[in-house]
Amino acid sequence: MEVTLSKIAALVQGTIIGDPEQVISGVAPFALAAEDQITVAGTARFLKKIGDCTAGAILVPRDFKTEARNLLQVDNPMVAFARIMQYFHPPVQPPAGIHPSAVIGADSKCGKHVTVDPQVVIGRHVTVGDRVWLHPGVVVGDDAVIGDDAVIHPNVTIQARCIIGNRVIIHAGTVIGSDGFGFAPDGNCYHKIPHTGIVQIDDDVEIGANNTIDRGTFGKTHIGRGVKTDNLVHIAHNVRVGENTVLVAQVGIAGSATIGKNAVLAGKAAIAGHLTIGDGAIVGPQTGVGKSVPDGQIVSAGLPGMPHRIWLRVQRMVPKLPEFSKRLAVLEKRFKRLEEKMD
């Protein structure tokens, strides 16, 4: 595909500085872009290096100007870059149809132009919307609902009665609606607590590979519109995740926690049960959260990397910290008495 820079500018509502007839045949990263490709310089780090870039055109912020290159000024360079990538690499449209090896239960309904690949199993009383693509090995439990234009990748399991919204993407190996981790101890053994609720995933959500989202004990585990999860995320029973929140790889959220809108939970963040993470809050990587976080607050407690020899010295000191604290308290008292005598 070859298009002019002027056509790309119209696609992203951009302003051209340079040659509007520059031919663009694709997108590429900043350091590798060729003369017929477009790239992005959305931060100061890349804007400083524009003179070294060999791309045919560069997306830049609206207020950035230079005469060195063909520039395309836009309000949000990364969003514009995403739209241009979608233009050059549109989603694959599979042929509609149901493979002979698929199993579809009684009273289930599939919408128009649905693709059901080999070895898919659909339970009873399931509703599948229009233009849905169920990849090989997908299992959909009884009474589940899948909205229009959803893409369910290989070996995803959607358990009984769960609800999947429109334009939802679920990547390979994810399990939606497994039982929550609930057991009642009697001192000798653990008695399983039945989980009778569901999982509801709203429109425009994308779930990464190998996620596990447990059904509610009662009611529902609810993933709000526009949420994006990375791979290997665990969301426990009755958790509520607000709209447009991002959960990065290996995040774990314990039961009945509430995550607000537009929040970010970085890699390996762990949220204790029944807490609230406020709207717009950011939880740093490897941070264990043991109390609720207000709207907009940033919390971090992860371990930074350090040279191994220094790490060994630090670890040797950790067991001695209680004794150091006691000795410091004694020294503070002595110092205070000396100050009083001097006065």
Let me know whether 216 and 287 are in one domain.
yes
For residue 68, what pLDDT is reported? Answer: 66
Q: Where a domain ends, among 88, 106, 121?
A: 88
Please tell me the total count of domains within the chain.
3
Let me know whether 177 and 208 are in one domain.
yes
Could you tell me the pTM of the whole model?
0.89
Q: How far is residue 305's CA from residue 117's CA, in Å, rounded to a whole number?
A: 45
Let me know whether 215 and 123 are in one domain.
yes
Q: How far is residue 25's CA from residue 279's CA, in Å, rounded to a whole number?
A: 41
* Amino acid at the residue 170: I
With a pLDDT cut of 70, the percent of the chain lying above it is 100
Q: How far is residue 197's CA from residue 219's CA, in Å, rounded to a whole number?
A: 5
For residue 93, what pLDDT is reported? Answer: 87
Let me know whether 153 and 20 are in one domain.
no
Does the pLDDT at position 245 exceed 90? yes
First to last CA, the chain: 85
With a pLDDT cut of 90, the percent of the chain lying above it is 90
Does the pLDDT at position 277 exceed 70? yes
* Amino acid at the residue 242: G
Pull the structure tokens for residue 5.
Answer: 């820079």
For residue 308, what pLDDT is reported? Answer: 85
Does the pLDDT at position 121 exceed 80? yes
Does the pLDDT at position 6 exceed 90? yes
Let me know whether 55 and 117 are in one domain.
no
- Residues 251-268 have a mean pLDDT of 98
Let me know whether 142 and 162 are in one domain.
yes
Let me know whether 214 and 315 are in one domain.
no
Among residues 171, 195, 222, 237, which one is catalytic? 237
**What are the tens digits of pLDDT across the range 151-166?**
999 999 999 999 999 9
Q: Where a domain ends, among 40, 59, 88?
A: 88
Q: How far is residue 231's CA from residue 212's CA, in Å, rounded to a whole number?
A: 10
For residue 76, what pLDDT is reported? Answer: 97
For residue 198, what pLDDT is reported? Answer: 98
Q: Residues 43-63, buried b or exposed e (16+ Cβ, 10 A)?
A: eeebeeebeebebbbbbbbee
For residue 306, what pLDDT is reported? Answer: 78
Does the pLDDT at position 271 exceed 90? yes
Residue 246, Cα to own-chain centre: how many angstroms?
4
Q: What are the residue ranges of helices labelled H in the chain?
A: 5-12, 44-47, 77-88, 308-317, 321-342
Does the pLDDT at position 178 exceed 70? yes
Let me know whether 45 and 110 are in one domain.
no
Q: Classify residue 120 by burial, with Cβ atoms within 10 Å: 0-12, 13-18, 19+.
A: buried
Whether the Cβ atoms of residue 65 and residue 15 lie closer than 8 Å to each other: no
Q: Is 237 a catalytic residue?
A: yes
Does the pLDDT at position 36 exceed 70? yes
- Residues 311-325 have a mean pLDDT of 92
Let me know whether 124 and 194 are in one domain.
yes
Q: In which domain, by residue range, is 338 found?
A: 308-342
Let me know whether 12 and 146 are in one domain.
no
CATH number at residue 226: 2.160.10.10
CATH number at residue 65: 3.40.1390.10
Q: How far is residue 66's CA from residue 73's CA, in Å, rounded to a whole number?
A: 11
- Residues 4-23 have a mean pLDDT of 96
For residue 193, what pLDDT is reported? Answer: 97
Q: How far is residue 171's CA from residue 37's CA, in Å, rounded to a whole number?
A: 30
Q: How far is residue 167's CA from residue 188's CA, in Å, rounded to a whole number?
A: 47
Q: Where a domain ends, among 55, 88, 121?
A: 88
Confidence of residue 303 (pLDDT cuts 50, 70, 90): confident
Does the pLDDT at position 67 exceed 80? no
Let me know whether 130 and 271 are in one domain.
yes
Let me know whether 177 and 286 are in one domain.
yes
- Residues 45-55 have a mean pLDDT of 93
For residue 301, what pLDDT is reported? Answer: 80
